[in-house]
Amino acid sequence: MNGMTLYQIQALKDFSNIKRGDLGGWIQSKKNLSQEGDCWVFGEATVYGEATVYGNARVYDKAQVWGSAQVSGNARVWGIARVYSNAKVFGKAQVSGEAQVWGEAQVFGEAHVWGDASVRGEAQVSGEAQVWGEAQVFGEAHVWGDASVRGEAQVFDKARVYGKAHIYGEAKVSGHIGTIKIDFNFGGDFNEILESLFHKDNLPILMGIHPDLDKIIQYKLSH
């Protein structure tokens, strides 16, 4: 593979659902897969370079982990997902589909990144947050809680998206707004909150977070 020699792994003992003698995926050297825990590489998945898979992490299908990336804890990487550079995927996080996580990015907790989504730079996705579609989270942005970023949306710079916030469509949220916390179970008045937190010139950037919020923004922009 690209001039590298990869070796197919074989289990030396029974553990988890793996039986002694079972063949697994492909690694470049022993340091790519820890001998501790229940970590494993399956199928046509590959781990190479200085990348490490350890703990109880699993890499499946045709997924690739390389560079100095780390996949650990109970994390799962599958499909044709890519985790590379110095990225870290840990906890119970999942990266699947054609998603990519790279740079210094971290995906952890029970977060899930999938589809054609990407998380890069120093961005973090955690909690039970979800990033999918062609969405991008990058820069120093953080997405956590029950938040979701989907479609072609972008969250970047030092933006913070959390709570029950939903960023979708072609929305773009950056550090120019700062922290966004949306909890649609509260009993407040959206107009009062918007007037106290956001200048009218910033309202278009908030479009796509939630249909009800969009209606209010459209009304405010037309008056």
Tens digits of residue pLDDT in 79-107: 999 999 999 999 999 999 999 999 999 99
Q: Are residues 42 and 140 in the same domain?
A: no
Tell me: do 169 and 82 sit in the same domain.
no
Query: Could you tell me if 125 and 57 lie in one domain?
Result: no
CB distance 216 to 190 below 8 Å? yes
Say whether pLDDT at 186 is over 70. Answer: no
Average pLDDT in the 25-32 region? 96
Domain membership flag for residue 204: yes
Q: In this predicted structure, what is the pLDDT of residue 188?
A: 44
Same domain for 42 and 120? no
- For residue 182, the model assigns a pLDDT of 45
Whether residue 67 is found in the same domain as residue 136? no
The average pLDDT across 142-164 equals 90
pLDDT at 213: 64
Give the CA diameter of the chain.
Answer: 71
What are the strands, taking DSSP E only, across 146-206? Answer: 148-149, 154-155, 160-163, 166-167, 172-173, 179-182
Same domain, 130 and 222: yes
Mean pLDDT in residue range 38-49: 96
pTM of the entire structure?
0.80
Considering the domain architecture, whether residues 54 and 146 belong to the same structural domain is answered as: no
What is the distance between the alpha carbons of residues 136 and 187, in angstroms, rounded to a whole number?
A: 31
Of the pLDDT bands very low, low, confident and very high (cuts 50, 70, 90), residue 180 is: very low
Task: Return the pLDDT at 177.
Answer: 41
Q: Does residue 57 share a domain with residue 9?
A: yes
> Considering the domain boundaries, does residue 105 fall inside one?
no
pLDDT band at 223 (very low <50, low <70, confident <90, very high): low
Q: What angle do CA 85, 87, 90 make, to 5 degrees?
A: 150
Average pLDDT for the chain:
85
The pLDDT value given to residue 121: 97
Predicted confidence at residue 162, as pLDDT, reads: 85
Is the pLDDT reported for residue 175 higher than 80?
no
Say if residue 72 is in the same domain as residue 28. yes
How many domains does one find in the chain? 2
For helices 211-221 and 190-197, the axis angle rounded to 10 degrees is 60
Flag whether pLDDT at 132 surpasses 90: yes
Q: Are residues 136 and 44 in the same domain?
A: no
Residues 123 and 220 in one domain: yes
With 70 as the cut, is the pLDDT of residue 192 above it? Answer: no
Structural domain boundaries, residue 221 = 116-223
pLDDT band at 218 (very low <50, low <70, confident <90, very high): low
